[in-house]
Amino acid sequence: MKQYLVKPGSKVDLSSWDPNDAGEFAGQKKQAKQQVAKLGQKLGELQEILYADHKRKVLVVFQGMDTAGKDGSIRRVFESVNPQGVRVAGFKVPTPEELDHDYLWRVHKQVPGAGEIVIFNRSHYEDVLVVRVHKLVPPAVWKKRYEQINAFERLLAESGTTILKYFLYIDLDEQKQRLEARRDDPTKQWKFNPGDLKERKLWPEYMKAYEQALERTSTDVAPWYVVPANRKWYRDLVVSTTLVEALEKLKLKYPKPAESFEGVVVE
């Protein structure tokens, strides 16, 4: 999965990435889904140890255009974890209180505590994406935010947080199909927002914003992955694989008891 990693300092041209890519699993949807299920069980085991050990923290960031599959990824990748110790935080339009503070204020409050996995459904990156595209602040303001974000994430990493960031990459045709499916399916219409059509017209501007964000903020301590997301099953495989590999590198272990249980009898 290293091919999807944005190497720190590298140039990003999203037109050179294939959102239809399925890697070695091309034509193997069934096998990929089976692998995702196995990885889900492994993730559940690792999360249990992480929670019990109560030392490390994990932050998972999902970004992507509308219909890219942020909700779906969270639902499928994390379906085998214990809800105790895992939390999802979403970031929508800032409230008046949040606007009274710096843009990272509301984000810092949501980062994981010891033993916890927190999943960001959208994130602080909205402040160099939406804010940039819609010209909500001057360029002189949002351009400074790349280094501010890097410093923020470095602080989290140095405080024991493992950070993984996923840009779920779909193309315009795939988004069109998914928006039409939302519009036409009564069980999905609640997710359809006509405003998404206006955002769709800004696709080129968003791709430029994503390219620069990926270039400027993929670091050794907080790497970005560009995940081919046209195929939902492969999207889930990429996220599951890289997440499990990252947790395995932590060499997590259950904590030892504070005292010996020798001679203790349960009656």
Domains of the chain with CATH codes: 2-249 (3.40.50.300)
Give per-residue pLDDT as tens, 233-244. 999 999 999 999
* 70 band by pLDDT with thresholds 50, 70 and 90: very high
pTM (2 d.p.): 0.95
Does pLDDT of 262 surpass 90?
Answer: no
Residues 6 or more apart from 22 whose CB is under 8 A from it?
28, 32, 228, 231, 234
pLDDT digits (tens, 9 = 90+) for 20-34: 999 999 999 999 999
Taking only the tens place, the pLDDT of each residue in 195-208 is: 889 999 999 999 99
Stretch 164-172: mean pLDDT, rounded? 98
Determine the average pLDDT of the residues in 74-102.
95
Q: Are 59 and 113 in contact (CB under 8 A)?
A: no
Q: Both tokens of residue 202? A: 């800004």
**Which is more confidently placed, 267 or 209?**
209
Q: Is the pLDDT of residue 263 over 90?
A: no
Q: How far apart are CA 208 and CA 14, in angstroms?
A: 9
Above 90 in pLDDT, residue 41? Answer: yes
- Using pLDDT thresholds of 50, 70 and 90, give the confidence band for residue 264: confident
Q: What is the model's pLDDT at position 129?
A: 98
CA–CA separation, 254 and 46 (whole Å): 10
Contact assessment for residue 157 and residue 163, using Cβ atoms and an 8 Å cutoff: yes
